[in-house]
Chains A and B, each alone.
Chain A
């Protein structure tokens, strides 16, 4: 199976996460290849967001290892993960509420230039940096909102803002946690286009998604989690016809629809 190790951008090995005696993740192993769009599906409470929290460093795994670009990064704090090139969004959006859209993105964009204490206090309004941020704003179709306070924006725009903020890190991987939920059909189409565009620039993308049609459209490979365990992994078509997966979803069809 393992053809070329160097091509794997993220490799999760036997990750276990225990919360107060409960196994949220049970020996999960997943690997994401460079430049692919990888889907993670599964019923609520299957451990999908926990997995994202571990990859982005928000949670430390109880055991198991995470490799990024072939390097062991298990247990690194979130900001180091982000600086290395792992960007993420949240299921419940978390923009920097009282800051403008531009400032939201500038805060993340400036990390690579200003995070060092000796440079933190210089002005960030350098022409080239502002131009870069404007490009991100244009790419994510946020330009018209650039002066707006983040918490005054509609949900669809806030979701784009989170993606833009993650893009500002110049990431190698982007983790999208249910970025499509709660959006209208036209918003979903727009966002899909954006995800493809980002992917075309060489960024690997991992999505957690309940919306199966979106998963079928976007992903080359899909892993199914259930009760903290990886059920199967394969192409979207293989996965939806797998009997174990169908069983896991019985009575929970609402996830597959909508």
Chain B
């Protein structure tokens, strides 16, 4: 396999984890988040600092990074308990800008120079090959799918859907909406932290601009274009939106325009996404069958 292909596949894998983790917050619990890149950044930076500045080995640094991201995710998810969904959308945009500004301007986090020399994982003193790293990435992708699936199938999933459908009705049905929103934010940010570890370790160098607000938009677009509240949808969305720029390389100048138009046209004519309940894919399959 060529290095280019491996890089693309690893990138897709990381975005699948990001899209599925955001889907737990947006698709399962119905909390709009436009700042998912911030949690990705917190995972990546925690891992980078722990392994570069404090020389923690891969596994220890990873576990700590996930714990840190989860904790901050829960804290930053707290506004969702106080404010309505439109406020929450804007608050999460704000969180993204502020987190980026903090990483970009405070020297402890590398400032505008970012953090370099982040180590690749090792086994018995031997560095991973790219192919091994890819296997590791997809192991985590698999883990994320299992978590998404288990959550959907559990009663907590049912309770989250109820909160998403109608917060007051869920509340008078004995479900504490706060509890299930926090659970969604905790799991969603933990998995975003996992994606951050993979990204930092694979790139070897990170800077705050890798995690800017447009990245959050892209992750949300993967969830919505693919089909929120499904598992296939966000996976497909990640493939689509990572591959599109590669496919459109020859007409590179029009790439962003096409991306913008894709979002408008999809939301206008296919609001439930490709794999959503009334999604275009199911319609096509049905037509073929009949």
Contacts and interface: CB of A to CB of B under 8 A. Distances in A.
Interface stretch (A8-16, A101-109, A183-191, A211-219): A101-109
A220 B174 CA distance: 29
Nearest to B159: A107
Contacts of B183: 117, 120
- Please tell me the size bucket of the interface on A: 35 or more
Nearest to A165: B173
Contacts of B175: 79, 107-108, 111, 115
B165 interface: yes
Interface string A13-36: 000000000000000000000000
A99 B183 CA distance: 20
Contacts of A57: 171-172
A82 B154 contact: no
Contacts of A78: 168, 171-172
Given A77-B176, A107-B159, A117-B179, A124 B154 contact: yes
A96 interface: yes
Interface centre among A83, A94, A113, A169 (most CB of B within 10 A): A94
Contacts of B176: 77, 79, 115
A164 to B, nearest CB: 11
Contact of A96 (B153, B165, B179): B165
Nearest to A119: B155
B273 to A, nearest CB: 14
B156 A114 contact: yes
Interface string A104-139: 101110111111010111111000000000000000
Contact of A169 (B155, B168, B173, B277): B173
B158 A103 contact: yes
A115 B178 CA distance: 12
B132 interface: no
A98 B172 contact: no
Contact of B155 (A56, A79, A94, A120): A120
B150 interface: yes
A79 B159 contact: no
Nearest to A120: B156
B173 A107 contact: yes
A88 interface: yes
Interface residues of B, number: 25
Contacts of A111: 159, 173-175
Contacts of A122: 154-155
Interface centre among A77, A98, A115, A165 (most CB of B within 10 A): A115
Contacts of A96: 161-162, 165-166, 169-170
A58 interface: yes
B151 interface: yes
A88 B155 contact: no
Contact of A107 (B151, B170, B179): B170
Nearest to B156: A120
Contacts of B172: 56-58, 78-79, 81-82, 87-88
Interface string A65-80: 0000000000001110
A46 to B, nearest CB: 21
B162 A79 contact: no
A58 B159 contact: no
Contacts of B179: 115, 117
A81 B175 CA distance: 10
Contact of A82 (B151, B153, B165, B174): B174
Nearest to A129: B155
A124 B155 contact: yes
Given A103-B161, A107-B159, A122-B154, A95 B169 contact: yes
Given A99-B161, A121-B150, A79 B169 contact: no
A97 interface: yes
A90 interface: yes
A94 B172 CA distance: 11
Given A94-B166, A96-B161, A169 B174 contact: yes
Interface centre among A103, A110, A117 (most CB of B within 10 A): A110
Interface centre among B150, B155, B168 (most CB of A within 10 A): B155
Contacts of A165: 173
B165 A83 contact: no
Interface of A: 56-58, 77-79, 81-83, 87-88, 90, 94-99, 103-104, 106-108, 110-115, 117, 119-124, 165-166, 168-169
22 contacts: A57-B172, A77-B171, A79-B171, A87-B172, A94-B166, A96-B161, A97-B165, A98-B165, A99-B165, A106-B158, A107-B161, A108-B175, A110-B155, A111-B159, A111-B173, A111-B174, A112-B174, A114-B159, A115-B159, A115-B174, A120-B156, A123-B154
Interface of B: 150-151, 153-156, 158-159, 161-162, 165-166, 168-177, 179, 183, 277
7 closest A-B pairs by beta carbon, nearest first, are A111-B174, A120-B156, A82-B174, A96-B165, A114-B155, A94-B169, A78-B171
